[in-house]
Amino acid sequence: MKLQTSSDLSYTKNALEKNILNFLIKWQASGHQQDSFPIQSLSAVTIPPVEYYYEGKGIRLNYSIGEMILNGLDRFIIQNISALENSLEVSLTLRFPILTLFSDKYILKGRAYYIYPLKGSGKMQLIFRETVITASVNFGTNNKNGTKIHNFLLNYSLQKVDAYLENSSWPINDILNNEGVEILAGYQTTIVEALWNHIVPLVDEYLKDKSPSELLQYYS
């Protein structure tokens, strides 16, 4: 899939938008090129283990997932960038054609329709198709005259989930494949918190020595 290129800068309206777009282009390319871009690549993002309880669709179950790898974050397509220089507010819309979440180990146990036992353990793969993320970011100063994210709001949508949970009881995979989009909607707060915990510290580290005024001066 083609990465974003510097030619896209012609669509921006001010220096802040150019700098944000330039940052995204470099971050996107950092996992594909040998460069010195000082921020963790998006090509494969590690997600720590989780434990949850789920109730819905006639199912009740406890499940845990071991360490996960998320692939595809570096394959985003920038659909919109809008920035207000006076308030350092930025709005972004990014589209991710395919995101793949993989874990070597999951465990689940529960019941379907109150009587049918559910269980499963093994490898897990979830494929999220056509995910669109809209983010609103407000930048401000840190305590050393550099820049940090002060507010971060995020919404997402996706068209389809393809799921495969190895050795899982019927109808786990069927429900995930047919109802996965609706099920994930119930985890929006959890997913947004996970993105905050991963992305915001990386961006803050990158901007810690850049003053807000520097964001208004285009650099390449």
Query: What is residue 98's predicted lDDT score, i.e. its pLDDT?
Result: 96
pLDDT at 5 > cutoff 90: no
CATH of domain 6-215: 3.15.10.30
* Average pLDDT of the residues in 123-141: 94
Could you tell me how many helices (H) and strands (E) the chain has, helices first?
4, 9
Return the percentage of the chain with pLDDT > 70, whole number.
90
Lowest mean pLDDT among 82-96, 149-163, 188-202: 188-202
Other residues' Cβ atoms within 10 Å of the Cβ of residue 193? 12
Other residues' Cβ atoms within 10 Å of the Cβ of residue 184? 19
Please report, for the chain, the start and end positions of each structural domain, with discontinuous segments joined by +. 6-215
Q: Could you report the per-residue pLDDT of 8-23, keeping only the tens digit for each?
A: 555 678 888 888 888 8
DSSP-assigned beta bridge partners for residue 197 = none
C-alpha pair distances (Å), 103 with each of 44, 64, 107, 126, 160:
13, 11, 11, 9, 19
pLDDT at 7 > cutoff 80: no
| Average predicted confidence (pLDDT) for the chain | 86
Apex 30 CA angle, 25 and 36, nearest 5? 110
Q: Could you report the per-residue pLDDT of 54-108, keeping only the tens digit for each?
A: 998 888 999 999 999 999 999 999 999 999 989 999 999 999 999 999 999 999 9
